């Protein structure tokens, strides 16, 4: 049994140092490699395959709701970025500037897009003339650049990959509906496919997107209790259209400004998958986006018929629509088990001579490590049921962790106590004043995560200032 490839090394235990565990996993599961540009990572085949699976799911939902893909330029002229005042204030400090093309200095600096509202607006001003041209429901898949100071793979990097939807509508109502529809698509992605429970709600004004009237968000809780904003949807009103002079002739032939939205999910959500489901042995991937859903490991593979039996299992499962890999390399079975556990492959099938005699194989679940002998006759059914059960279990575990770490705090004393005790979501009432948010940030180092759609009345007073409460807010420490 040749085995000169380095054995899988142990990673930092998840509850010893979560940040180091995270870095170990992204490197050892071969999701990313670092590049020589600080803060820019390489998505390796396994990381890219996860992203492509997420893309396929989202793109399908976008197209099913009437959206079309486009591709916008990578550059934004400085003057274009400056057209909407709040927007430029939010983004100008963190963009990368191109000043030279070839040997020549440019007359006007170009920034590498940090987001493309300004480009879409300029394009809409060319193509929207009448109510008949509305709505335009556009999306693009691309990478964007934000010059972050501190970076971590997936969570915060200078370049990241995402989709950005940009839509333009005849009425404010339609635009608001669109904003909500897309947030719900993000919730579906997170909960039904990635098996990450999320809180849906609205951002406070101080946390909303630069230039937006309202920002909606899905907020997930990671294993360590920190919050991760996992997708956002923005309603712009007609602010951008006014700044960019986009008008259309309405049904009464009057010139009016249309209403806009934008919404995005990025490779950050891969960070959420890792930090929601992973464990001491590495990644655990939800089946819907796992590049390999089933790995087949032949045992005693030199014995007659073993490799053929393994290949036959794989063929049958592929025909049933699963993503399957047979590892018939000359690494030891033990090495292979550790390797695919690190990579979070949901189901492992082991098949050797004794299994073959009994007409069975051994099915091992990545989430609870349960081992079951399954009859080869019912292989497709057993695998399908196991993948479903595993996905359900991932969701249940994540929800349990969230519930355990969610604290209802009726007053400041309870809030302080909860924050001191454990990282998590802190539910508390708020008067609506940004100064109270500021104070909680200074005093407890927590920020408002969202004003959830599902409101409760924990008290009638703001947890901070004691004035009448307007809303329940989820507070927490964010990635």
- Residue with token string 């070839």: 102
φ, ψ for residue 229 (rounded to 5)?
-70, 120
φ, ψ for residue 397 (rounded to 5)?
-65, -40
Cα angle 372, 190, 116; round to 5: 145
d(CA 217, CA 178): 14
Nearest approach, Cβ of residue 159 and a copy of itself (Å) = 5
Nearest approach, Cβ of residue 413 and a copy of itself (Å) = 41
d(CA 54, CA 47): 11
Output DSSP code: residue 354: H
Nearest approach, Cβ of residue 394 and a copy of itself (Å) = 26
Output DSSP code: residue 192: I
54, 338, 425, 441 from 287: Cα distances, Å:
11, 19, 27, 38
d(CA 20, CA 18): 6
| Pick from 237, 94, 217, 101: nearest CA to 158 | 94
Output DSSP code: residue 193: I
The nearer residue to a copy of itself, 329 or 378, going by C-beta atoms, is: 329
Nearest approach, Cβ of residue 343 and a copy of itself (Å) = 14
The nearer residue to a copy of itself, 308 or 330, going by C-beta atoms, is: 330
Q: CB under 8 Å to 202, separation ≥6 — which residues?
A: 214, 215, 216, 217, 450, 451, 453
The nearer residue to a copy of itself, 147 or 303, going by C-beta atoms, is: 147
3-state secondary structure of 254: coil
How many residues belong to the chain?
479
The nearer residue to a copy of itself, 43 or 451, going by C-beta atoms, is: 43
Nearest approach, Cβ of residue 252 and a copy of itself (Å) = 14
The nearer residue to a copy of itself, 41 or 272, going by C-beta atoms, is: 41
Nearest approach, Cβ of residue 4 and a copy of itself (Å) = 7
The nearer residue to a copy of itself, 61 or 147, going by C-beta atoms, is: 147
d(CA 419, CA 70): 45
Residues in contact with a copy of itself by the rule CB under 8 A: 4-5, 33, 35-37, 40-45, 48-49, 51-52, 68-77, 80, 93-103, 110, 112, 119, 122-123, 126-127, 130, 132, 138, 142-143, 145, 147, 158-159, 161
The nearer residue to a copy of itself, 154 or 425, going by C-beta atoms, is: 154
φ, ψ for residue 451 (rounded to 5)?
-95, 100
Whether 135 contacts 169, CB under 8 Å = yes
The nearer residue to a copy of itself, 79 or 372, going by C-beta atoms, is: 79
Nearest approach, Cβ of residue 51 and a copy of itself (Å) = 8
The nearer residue to a copy of itself, 84 or 219, going by C-beta atoms, is: 84
Whether 142 contacts 148, CB under 8 Å = no
The nearer residue to a copy of itself, 36 or 454, going by C-beta atoms, is: 36
Nearest approach, Cβ of residue 124 and a copy of itself (Å) = 10
Nearest approach, Cβ of residue 203 and a copy of itself (Å) = 23
The nearer residue to a copy of itself, 114 or 391, going by C-beta atoms, is: 114
Q: CB under 8 Å to 327, separation ≥6 — which residues?
A: 295, 296, 297, 298, 336, 339, 340
Nearest approach, Cβ of residue 279 and a copy of itself (Å) = 26
Q: Where are the extended beta strands (E) located within 333-420?
A: 347-351, 360-365, 371-375, 406-408
18, 218, 286, 350, 422 from 273: Cα distances, Å:
14, 14, 8, 26, 22
Nearest approach, Cβ of residue 396 and a copy of itself (Å) = 33
């Amino acid at each position: 049994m040749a085995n000169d490839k380095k054995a899988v090394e142990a990673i930092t235990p998840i509850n010893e140092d979560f940040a180091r565990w995270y870095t170990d996993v992204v490197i050892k599961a071969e999701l990313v490699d670092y590049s020589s540009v600080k803060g820019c990572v390489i998505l390796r085949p396994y990381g890219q395959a996860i992203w492509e699976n997420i893309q396929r799911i989202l793109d399908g939902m976008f197209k099913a709701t009437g959206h079309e893909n486009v591709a916008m330029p990578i550059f934004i002229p400085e003057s274009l970025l400056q057209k909407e005042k709040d927007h430029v204030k939010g983004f100008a400090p963190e963009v990368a500037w191109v000043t030279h093309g070839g040997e020549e200095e440019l007359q006007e600096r170009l920034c590498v897009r940090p987001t493309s509202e300004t480009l879409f607006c300029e394009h809409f001003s060319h193509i929207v003339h009448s109510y008949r041209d509305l709505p335009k429901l556009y999306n693009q898949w691309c990478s964007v650049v934000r010059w972050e100071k501190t970076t971590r793979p997936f969570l915060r990097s200078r370049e990241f990959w995402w989709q950005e939807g940009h839509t333009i509508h005849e009425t404010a109502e339609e635009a608001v509906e669109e904003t909500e529809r897309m947030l719900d698509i993000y919730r579906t992605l997170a909960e039904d496919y990635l098996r990450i429970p999320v809180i849906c709600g609205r951002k406070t004004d101080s946390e909303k997107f630069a230039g937006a009237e309202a920002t909606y968000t899905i907020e997930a809780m990671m294993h360590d209790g920190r919050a991760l904003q996992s997708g956002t949807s923005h309603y712009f009103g007609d602010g951008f259209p006014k700044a960019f002079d986009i008008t259309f002739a309405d049904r009464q032939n009057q010139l009016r400004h249309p209403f806009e939205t934008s919404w995005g999910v990025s490779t950050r959500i891969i960070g959420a998958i890792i930090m929601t489901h992973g464990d001491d042995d590495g990644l655990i991937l939800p089946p819907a986006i796992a590049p390999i859903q089933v790995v087949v490991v032949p045992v005693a593979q030199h014995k007659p018929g073993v490799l053929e039996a393994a290949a036959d299992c794989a063929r049958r499962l592929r025909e049933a629509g699963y993503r399957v890999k047979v590892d018939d390399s000359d690494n030891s079975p033990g090495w292979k088990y550790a390797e695919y556990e690190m990579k979070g492959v949901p189901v492992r099938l082991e098949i050797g001579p004794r299994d073959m005699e009994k007409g069975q194989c051994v099915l091992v679940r990545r989430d609870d490590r349960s081992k079951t002998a399954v009859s080869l006759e019912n292989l497709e059914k057993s695998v399908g049921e196991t993948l479903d059960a595993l996905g359900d279990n991932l969701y249940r575990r994540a929800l349990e962790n969230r519930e355990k770490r969610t604290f209802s705090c009726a007053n400041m004393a309870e809030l302080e106590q909860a924050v001191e005790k454990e990282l998590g979501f802190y539910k508390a009432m708020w008067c609506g004043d940004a100064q109270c948010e500021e104070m909680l940030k200074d005093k407890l180092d927590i920020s408002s995560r969202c004003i959830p759609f599902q409101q409760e009345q924990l008290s009638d007073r703001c947890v901070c200032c004691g004035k009448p409460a307007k809303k329940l807010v989820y507070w927490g420490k964010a990635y």
